[in-house]
Every structure is written in structure tokens, then in C-alpha cells.
Amino acid sequence: MVKNWVRPAKTIEIREYAMRIRRLLGYKDTDFIYAPKLYDDLSKVLSDQGLNFDYIVMPDEDEIFENNEEAFTDMRTGTIYIKESVMEKACRRSFNRASFTLVHELGHYFLHYIQEDARLTMVSEEVQVQIYCDPEWQANIFASEFLMPFEICKDLVPIEIRKQYHVSTQASEVRHNKIKKELEK
């Protein structure tokens, strides 16, 4: 088995990058992200800049998806493939993990597709790489930072984070705990 790893990125770097994109798109730090609209906005903004940003919603049973995969980003083209059921959930504006999944894929797009110097390298699974070189870890941090801005969330408890940013209970708890740990350092 092989896995990908990427140029290391610290939480703080991913945070600054996520917040820059958020603010460029005109979101206030207190705004919640409605992921389907975010995708539409990005399609316009990025294609105006000559960047390739496409997303395709596919039937859940399509063989393009691996087992348990909700969405994935093709690193050669930047195209994001999303399961139909995941896009439907994201559109319902309910407090589920679908929006996290969509923004996680944007993390791959911005951190691993757009930034050419963050080239993906394949390593054997036996090779120990630092967690911050793991593209999945980086994309999760991106989603968390983008959906739930640090400066606001550091003063909120999980239920407030959940209400403010329409995220799942689990996402709000993970966010709260990570911020607490970071502030204790």
C-alpha cells in the first residue's frame, strides 16, 4: 500500500490561508457557510481568474467512488466529484457533516491542486510521516478553519459553535477541544 503526503503545513498556516479565501469571497467571520452556494460562487470567481474549478455530482453507486468515500478531488484536473446523497444533505441546510465534506474537498483543491509546490509524493505505508504532511489531515484542518473561524470560536462552547455555523455536533466538539488545547499551550 502507498499513501500520499504533501509539503508540511501547520494549522496556523492553513488557518491564515482559509481565512484569506473566506474574506476574499466576502464572508464575515460570523457568517455561516452554505456549501452549495460557496461552490457556485467559487465556480464563477475562479473561472474569471482562469483557474479550473469544476465539480460533478454523481450517483452514489457510481464506481468512481471507493467504499465509504463521500467525495474526492482529482489532483490532476482539480475536478471535485461528489456523491448525490452528500450534495442533497448539504442543500438541506441541516446541521450534518455534508458541508464539512464539501469544504474538505476544497481543502484538497486549494492546498494540493492549486499550490503546485505542494506536490503529492507517494510513500509506502510503512514510512512514518508527520501528521501535518498528511493531505487528509490538512484538508480536515482547512474545512474546520474555513467553516468555524478561530477568532470567533475561541469564545464559544460547542452548542454555540453548532448554532452559529450550522455544523454537526461532532464537528463543533472537535473544534472546541482543539482550540482549548491550542490556547493551553
| Interface ranges with Zn ion (CB under 5 A) | 136, 139
Q: Angle at which helices 84-91 and 98-107 pack, to 10 degrees?
A: 110
Minimum Å gap between C-beta 161 and Zn ion is 22
Task: Give backbone dihedrals phi and psi of 97, rounded to 5 degrees, phi first.
Answer: -85, 0
Minimum Å gap between C-beta 136 and Zn ion is 5
Copy the grid coordinates of residue 135.
493531505
CB of 115 or CB of 164, closer to Zn ion: 115
CB of 29 or CB of 54, closer to Zn ion: 54
CB of 136 or CB of 160, closer to Zn ion: 136
Minimum Å gap between C-beta 163 and Zn ion is 27
CB of 156 or CB of 174, closer to Zn ion: 174
Q: Work out whether strand 55-58 and strand 71-73 pair parallel, antiparallel, or are unpaired.
A: unpaired
Minimum Å gap between C-beta 68 and Zn ion is 12
> 107-117 burial string, b = 16+ CB within 10 Å, else e?
bbbbbbbeeee
Minimum Å gap between C-beta 139 and Zn ion is 5
CB of 4 or CB of 96, closer to Zn ion: 4
Task: Give the CB-nearest residue to Zn ion.
Answer: 139
In angstroms, rounded to a whole number, what is the distance separating the alpha carbons of residues 102 and 38?
Answer: 10
Copy the grid coordinates of residue 130.
508527520
CB of 31 or CB of 136, closer to Zn ion: 136
Q: Angle at which helices 169-184 and 135-147 pack, to 10 degrees?
A: 100
Copy the grid coordinates of residue 168.
454537526
Minimum Å gap between C-beta 20 and Zn ion is 21
In angstroms, rounded to a whole number, what is the distance separating the alpha carbons of residues 178 and 99?
Answer: 20
Residue with cell 450550522: 166
